[in-house]
Amino acid sequence: MPQVIIVGAGLAGLCAAAALRQAGHQVQIFEKSQFLGEVGAAVVLSPNSSSVLAQMGFSFDRARVRQLKTWESVDGITLDAIGSVDQSGCEEKFGMPLMGVHRVDLHNELMRLACDDSQQASSTGAVSVRCGVKVVGVMPDEGYVQLEDGTRHYADLVVAADGLHSVARAAVVGADGVTSAYTGFSAFRFLIPSDMVKGNPEFDEVLSWKSDGLSVLLDTRDKINERHMAWYECQGIAPDIRSWPLMKNDPLRKWSKGKVLLIGDAAHAMLPFGGQGANQALEDGGALGYLFRGVDNAAEIPTRLALFETVRRKRASRIQILSTVRIGKEIEVEKLLQEYGEPGVSLPTNFEERTHHDFSFKLLNRCDEVLEAARAIKC
């Protein structure tokens, strides 16, 4: 059975580890931090990723998700509605509801799927995690990672899930292929515990206006700078405020080289417009495990990596491009999207079309399609 190393234990890395374990593979995770954990506030779980998680046995109850019944854009000055998509029928339309979840709860449940011994009892796969080990180099042809202490660790497949500042990306696409530019935007993420504002008349008044879902409040007075606030519910509390500078990255022309594969932000770092960054990382992990079912020798890996890119690269690149524009401005990137078009896929030009494009994708069905096509060619 092929041996797999995953660099990074974030959402993409843990989802990939859990999916590969369920496919019967031996996985070792190298995580540079001293503990398995996640920071940040809430994320939106959309049907395109939550349907994959459901197939993996992910417990939405344990992750304390909250259903989001609308997705609306609002004038942040007057609180007048600009546009709204009713998501109360999301489950009926797309198979799963739209949900909000605390990033820590999402991470913890993925860690349970990947590392809990009781989860591994029904599978021949296994996952081990080494924390506090920093990968400083990756060699695609030889198939090893080099740690800060100088040691080398070999595998049949190295999955680089090490984020925006990936040490593996340049080894896959070349130094010239790594472009990242500061947008001038920053994201401030925080949660306000409900019990801190209960009884405040002004906040109660705002809550009476707030819809049961995700509201994007736009600064409509400033025609030059983009300012907006996304507001939705999740369980848990995190009273600290963190700021992230937002970087724009162009889609990569390839995600793999030799024995190394990029996933998550290492492959397609996104801006927050559209709320698909975490969802695309989860699609990556789910697709990798699904496509590597039945792979029992290393000779099959190059073919499966090619299938993975067929399933994921253009899909994630479209969403990466869409992530650069605010809701309602999808038409501005129509020409860029055309470069990553696929047969049977309509390119979105407005918010409603964008929602359908993102949410309606059936990842595992698409994996079955490319697997069947590959078998047909082989026969």
What pLDDT is recorded for position 24?
94
- Tell whether the model's pLDDT for residue 155 goes beyond 90: yes
What pLDDT is recorded for position 74?
78
Helix orientation angle between 351-359 and 301-322, rounded to the nearest 10 degrees: 160
Pairing type for strands 256-257 and 228-231 reads unpaired
- Tell whether the model's pLDDT for residue 22 goes beyond 60: yes
The more confident residue out of 314 and 242 is: 314
Query: With a threshold of 0.85, does the pTM exceed it?
Result: yes
What pLDDT is recorded for position 51?
97
Portion of the chain with pLDDT greater than 70, in percent: 85
Helix orientation angle between 47-55 and 351-359, rounded to the nearest 10 degrees: 10
**Alpha-carbon radius of gyration of the chain:** 21
The CATH number linked to 125 is 3.50.50.60
d(CA 141, CA 138): 9
Determine whether 241 is exposed, middle or buried from the number of CB atoms within 10 Å of its CB (0-12, 13-18, 19+). exposed
What pLDDT is recorded for position 216?
72
Helix, strand, coil percentages (3-state) for the chain, rounded to 5, are: 35, 25, 40
Q: In which band, very low, low, confident or very high, does the pLDDT at 38 lie, cut at 50, 70 and 90? A: low
Q: What is the mean pLDDT of residues 11-36?
A: 93
Quote the tokens at residue 183. 């947008």
Q: In which band, very low, low, confident or very high, does the pLDDT at 371 lie, cut at 50, 70 and 90? A: very high
- Phi then psi for residue 51, to 5 deg, are -65, -35
* Residue 236 domain-assigned (yes or no): no
- Tell whether the model's pLDDT for residue 35 goes beyond 90: no
- Tell whether the model's pLDDT for residue 245 goes beyond 70: no
Query: Residue 350, SS3?
Result: coil
The more confident residue out of 219 and 325 is: 325
- Tell whether the model's pLDDT for residue 241 goes beyond 60: no
Instruction: Tell me the pLDDT tens digit for each residue of 39-70.
Output: 666 789 999 999 999 999 999 999 999 888 88
- Tell whether the model's pLDDT for residue 228 goes beyond 70: no
- Lowest mean pLDDT segment, chosen from 185-189, 259-263, 274-278, 357-361: 185-189
Q: What is the mean pLDDT of residues 272-289?
A: 94
Instruction: Tell me the pLDDT tens digit for each residue of 86-123.
Output: 888 999 999 999 998 988 899 999 999 998 876 554 56
* Residue 79 domain-assigned (yes or no): no
What pLDDT is recorded for position 188?
66
What pLDDT is recorded for position 235?
67
Instruction: Tell me the pLDDT tens digit for each residue of 344-364.
Output: 999 999 988 999 999 999 999
* Residue 127 domain-assigned (yes or no): yes
Strands (E), the chain: 3-7, 26-31, 42-45, 66-67, 70-75, 81-86, 99-102, 126-131, 135-139, 144-147, 152-154, 157-160, 180-189, 214-218, 228-231, 242-249, 256-257, 260-262
Task: Report CA 374 to chain centroid distance, whole Å.
Answer: 26
Distances in whole angstroms, Cα of residue 92 to Cα of each of 87, 95, 234: 10, 6, 22
**Residue 154 lies in domain:** 3-67+96-180+249-377
Portion of the chain with pLDDT greater than 90, in percent: 60
**Number of structural domains in the chain:** 1
* Residue 74 domain-assigned (yes or no): no
- Lowest mean pLDDT segment, chosen from 21-25, 149-153, 195-199, 256-260: 195-199
* Residue 266 domain-assigned (yes or no): yes
Please report where in the chains the tokens 């994959």 appear, as a residue. 52
* Residue 226 domain-assigned (yes or no): no
* Residue 192 domain-assigned (yes or no): no
- Tell whether the model's pLDDT for residue 195 goes beyond 90: no
* Residue 204 domain-assigned (yes or no): no
What pLDDT is recorded for position 40?
63
- Contact status, residue 67 vs residue 99, Cβ threshold 8 Å: yes
The more confident residue out of 229 and 249 is: 249
Bridge partners of residue 154, in order along the sequence: 144
User: What is the chain's mean pLDDT, rounded?
Assistant: 87
